[in-house]
Amino acid sequence: MRKFKERILRILQQRSDDRAAKLSKEYLRARPEEKEAIIAGIEIEKWFSEVCEVCLD
């Protein structure tokens, strides 16, 4: 069961990292009024990825 939980956490972490990378690319093309929301999304995804990492330790 532990291996299954670790695998799920790694999948969630990878998805979060992927979403943060996608948002980073969107930021480059975003209009000024959209940039703050994109930055907030990136911060949330990074936070979630870090939480997954802590749970794996």
Domain boundaries, the chain: 2-56
As a whole number of angstroms, the distance between CA 19 and CA 34 comes to 16
Average the pLDDT over 27-34 and give the result.
95
Residues 26-54 have a mean pLDDT of 96
Which pLDDT value is given to residue 49? 97
* Residue pair 23/45 in contact by the 8 Å Cβ criterion: yes
| Mean pLDDT, all residues of the chain | 95
Residue 1 clears pLDDT 80, i.e. is over it: no
- What is the Cα–Cα distance from 15 to 12, expressed in whole angstroms? 5
More confident residue, 2 or 48: 48
User: Token pair 């969630």 is at which residue?
Assistant: 12
Supply the pTM of this predicted model.
0.87
> What DSSP line would sit under 5-53, residue for residue?
HHHHHHHHHHHHHHHHHHHHHHHHH--HHHHHHHHHHHHHHHHHHHHHH
